[in-house]
Structure 1
Amino acid sequence: MRRITIKKCVTILISLFLLNTIMYSANRVGLNYSDHVPDGYSLVWNEEFDAKKVNGGKPALPDPDKWFYETAEPGWVNNELQTYVKGFIDTDTVAAVYDGTLKIRAIPRGDKVYSARINSINAWTYGYFEARLKVPGGKGTWPAFWMLPKNFTAWPLDGEIDIMEYVGYDPNFVHSSVHTQSYYHTIGTQKTAKKEISNAETEFHIYAVEWTKDYIKGFVDGVEYFRFDNDGTGNKHTWPFDAPFYLKLNLAWGGDWGAAQGIDESALPATYEIDYVRVYQK
């Protein structure tokens, strides 16, 4: 039996460590993920969440030049139970940037749960929109990556694009959908699809939509699993997707869908991690 010296073992271990570091670095700058972007698209906007800790080691908050918060009490939409706040509750952050990711957290405090809902300041008409995400689990969690029109007046008339939604009571199934006046869940006509991702709660995956004047397609890791076509009638009730939409990231707690099978308080605090968000256009 051939023997390996201690020196050789150390050399092998160092080599493996360096290889892993190189692969990790390549992943962080997106070198391994660009193959998912359809041909003909160029990067026009991105948020890599690489801000360093500030103020004596405190986590940074989302860049105010790129994102703004919505604040709301429980029941504001979908009978959700969380209170949305601007970044902090007491000394804890509900939207913190550190270690290369944005961490949106749902935090219990007494009889309340606090979380964050942030929106991009920029808006776009058509493009390829993607984010690398890791979702929390447990009954009651409801993270989302989605879009609403900049000049919003009424839902669902003005449209909604759900790039990724996840409910913790249905582990490892992700959803992509659109909502319009003619097609939405309350009247049972929703246009949606779901896909099983075996490790959605423990690994990052790339969730995306390609939105053109003719269709909206949903993807996970470059695999298409949802498609909604423009019927070409010019009717806003069936295709309101010809106006600027902005991006939204939030972690809801409970609600009509999130709590459809109850809630599990032991799932809190919950953390929704976002590695990056990127927008491409032709």
Structure 2
Amino acid sequence: MNSFLRKGLLLPLAAATLLITACGSKPAQPAQEGSVKVNPSSLSLSDAAVTEVVTVISDCDWGVASGNKDWCTVSPSGGVAGTTPVTVKISENKGYDTRSTLLTFRYGGNKLEVPVSQTGKQKPETPETPEGITVPEGYELDWNEEFDTPGKPSLSDWWYETGGGGWGNNEIQTYVASAKDGQDLCYIADGKMTLEARKIGGTVYSIRINTKKYWKYGWFEARLKVSDVPGSWPAFWMMPQNFQTWPGDGEIDIMEYAISTQGKNKSSSSIHCGAFNWPAGTQKTHVMPVNNAASEFHVYALEWTADYMKFYVDGNLHMTFANDGKGYSHWPFDNPFYLKFNLAYGGNMGGQTDDAKLPALYEVDYVRVFKKK
């Protein structure tokens, strides 16, 4: 084929190819650039719940999302060119650790991240445990009275119950606040608090003293020396802060000692509630031998949790009372209780008395309360 023909055929083919190429392709679109600025560029917040506003300045459409919507939310979730306020809602940080997330702004193929951080709550200072105090494992000291300052118990920490009438147990004594006719019946000396039951003018007077603080759960212990005077009935126990009815609202007896009814060198621990109490003969009680209970100090303790109570003498477990999950009549012990020390005389548990052997002395070397860490 001559060159003329070849040229004649190739020219139409080239033109057709050019036409097909031109019709089948589109010119490349330039990438959308745009710009987004956020003011402020970061948020640093305290642990409290708060609502903050950031300002978005843009020349294009944009969207925003929080990296953790459980505690950080944004509104609106996007906008157009111009100036737009964005509300950032932060919930309270109830933990102790700082938490953080990102607000991510997207526009075109770009993104801008705004850091958000929120501090945790301040950890309460753990009081330094005084020298000589042994802390039970898993606990820390919450309150204690070592009775190192001679005089009277401080009325900022303690209060007295007063009066007679038997106190529901046919007791003989009349309780007074601190003293009777100039004779001290509750005093601090030689590093201990002493309660006395003493006959004055034909009447036996004694002491019933309580803490102003109250607790729900914890480890409670006192180092005590009791009395062997017949009829004396020293106790270390707890009653509910919001007491309405007995035994329904509960009673916790950490230590009771009554030589006339329990015998010498034997202490008991008990609980009372609607289902378990001494009038019905159903109370939960255990008697523990304690050598030289009235001539030496011994440590009586209670560990109280939501699930059980455990009673100890000198570190030896002797009684456990478990929460059986059957309701308030079986376990009214999910409420605050306060501590009590008293020295009763005679009555249902005090038993046979001997006034000739009075006064009876009940000594408290220390009382300590520990809470779970």
TM-score, length-normalised on structure 1?
A: 0.83
2:139 matches 1:46: no
Q: CA deviation at 1:30?
A: 6.8
Partner-residue secondary structure (3-state), 2:212:
strand
Q: 1:228 and 1:185 mapped to 2: Cα distance?
A: 16
AA aligned to 1:240 is P
Of 98, 103, 108, 2:189 maps to 98
Q: Equivalent residue for 1:266?
A: 356
Match of 1:57 in 2: none
**Larger Rg computed on CA atoms:** 2
Contact residue 79 and residue 255 of structure 1 kept, 8 A? yes
Deviations 1:217-276 (A, max 9, x none): 10001100011000013x1100000000000000000011101xx211222001100000
Which among 126, 150, 155 is matched to residue 241 of structure 2?
Answer: 150
Which deviates the most, 142-151 or 189-198? 189-198
How far residue 91 of structure 1 moved from its aligned partner, in angstroms, is 1.5
Where do residues 134-173 of structure 1 align in structure 2 (5 Å cutoff)? 134-169=225-260, 170-173=263-266
Is there any run of 5+ residues in structure 2 with no aligned partner, and where? Answer: 1-129
- Quote the Cα distance in structure 2 between the aligned partners of 1:232 and 1:268: 45
Match of 1:279 in 2: 369
Amino acid at match of 2:322: D
The equivalent residue for 2:9 is none
Relative contact order higher in (CA < 8 Å, ≥ 6 apart) = 1
- Alpha-carbon offset, residue 77 of structure 1: 2.6
Q: In 2, distance between residues paired with 1:278 and 1:267?
A: 31
Structure 1 segment 18-167 matched on structure 2, within 5 A: 31=132, 34=134, 37-52=135-150, 60-167=151-258
8 Å CA contact retained: 1:47, 1:278:
yes
2:338 maps to a residue whose letter is Y
Secondary structure of the residue that 1:257 maps to in structure 2? Answer: helix
Aligned residues of 1:137 and 1:267 also touching (Cα < 8 A): no
Q: C-alpha deviations, 1:100-125, integer Å up to 9, x for none?
A: 10000001013210001000000000
SS in 2 for 1:186: coil
- Alpha-carbon distance in structure 2 between the residues aligned to 1:119 and 1:130: 14
Counting only pairs closer than 5 Å after superposition, residues 172-211 of structure 1 correspond to structure 2 as 172-211=265-304
Matches within 5 A, 1:182-261: 182-233=275-326, 235-259=327-351
Shift in Å at residue 97 of structure 1? 0.6
The letter of the residue matching 1:263 is T
For 1:267 and 1:156, locate their aligned partners in 2 and report how far apart those are by CA, in whole Å: 33
CA–CA distance in structure 2, aligned partners of residues 267 and 126 of structure 1: 39
| Secondary structure of 1:237 counterpart | coil
Separation of aligned partners in 2, 1:74 and 1:101: 29
- Quote the offset at 1:72 in angstroms: 1.1
Structure 2: how far apart are the matches of 1:190 and 1:76? 19
- Deviating beyond 2 angstroms after TM superposition, the runs of 4 or more aligned structure 1 residues are none
Tell me the alpha carbon deviations over residues 188-220 of structure 1, each in whole angstroms, 9 at most, x when there is no partner.
111010111111000000000000000001000
CA distance in 2, matches of 1:218, 1:133: 15
Q: Where do 5+ consecutive residues of structure 1 fail to align? A: 1-28, 53-59
The 10-residue stretch of structure 1 (238-247 or 68-77) with the greater mean CA deviation from structure 2: 68-77
Instruction: Find the aligned partners of 1:67 and 1:111 in 2 and give their Cα distance.
Output: 28
Distance 2:131 2:339 in 1: 20
Give SS of 1:123's match.
coil
**C-alpha RMSD of the superposition:** 1.2
Show the counterpart of 2:86: none
- Partners in 2 of 1:165 and 1:76 — Cα distance? 16
